[in-house]
Structure 1
Amino acid sequence: MTLIHPVEHCCSMADVRRNIDALDARIVALMAERSGYMTQAARIKHDPAQIHDQARIDFIVQRVKAMATAQGAPAAVIEAAYRAMIDASIEFERGEFQRLRQEG
């Protein structure tokens, strides 16, 4: 198992937390960007039934599990995180779909 992005050697929990906090800032920025695309999807889709696309979900989950394995990350953890993010994204997109139609 080869890590594509090896982690920094930490000598204390403060080092660990500092690195995790920095990663969290990057993750949140990426999730915010991803949310912007969910708003775009809500604008583009014509039918609320299109919001939940099980085939797309399955594709994403399989792809990120493979990416996790390739990077030496625990695929089960990545899958669980992605499934939670996808579920939340679907709910966000539903809200955006309704909001955009109400705004006309």
Structure 2
Amino acid sequence: MEDTASALTEIRARIDELDGELVALLARREALVRQAAPLKGDDRAVRAPERVAQVVARVRVLASEAGADPDVIERIYRSMIQVFIDLEADQHRRRADA
């Protein structure tokens, strides 16, 4: 039982380290999304279904190449993309209200 607990503690520490890296990368992605938002003229440009499909197809390939489950990566990306779409849409609403 001690070895299992020790192994789990080590795995969790490594996950925590990766979380720090992921959050930093997501912050960089968010900054780019915020830069792109004012360049988009309407809701269709914000939602950009063709771009979403392109990104999802690309990350599925990257997932396979990295040894990850493409379905898991797709679900993560679709969720992340939706959150960023909501952020951009909110920026557009606030700009229109101003």
Distance 2:72 2:21 in 1: 18
The answer to whether the aligner puts 1:86 opposite 2:81 as a matched pair is yes
TM-score, length-normalised on structure 2? 0.86
Aligned AA for 1:48?
A: D
* Unmatched 5+ stretches in structure 2: 1-5
* Unmatched 5+ stretches in structure 1: 1-10
Note the aligned Cα RMSD (angstroms). 1.4
The answer to whether the aligner puts 1:25 opposite 2:28 as a matched pair is no
CA offset at residue 38 of structure 1? 1.2
Once the two structures are superposed, residues 45-76 of structure 1 have per-residue CA deviations (whole angstroms, 9 ceiling, x without a partner) of 12233100111000100100000001111111
Number of the residue aligned with 2:46: 51
Number of the residue aligned with 2:3: none
Distance 2:84 2:78 in 1: 10
CA offset at residue 101 of structure 1? 4.3
TM-score, length-normalised on structure 1? 0.82
Residues matched between the structures, number:
93
Number of the residue aligned with 1:61: 56
List structure 1 runs of 4+ shifted beyond 4 angstroms: none
Residue aligned with 2:47, SS = coil
Aligned AA for 2:47?
A: H
Distance 1:99 1:36 in 2: 17
CA offset at residue 99 of structure 1? 2.8
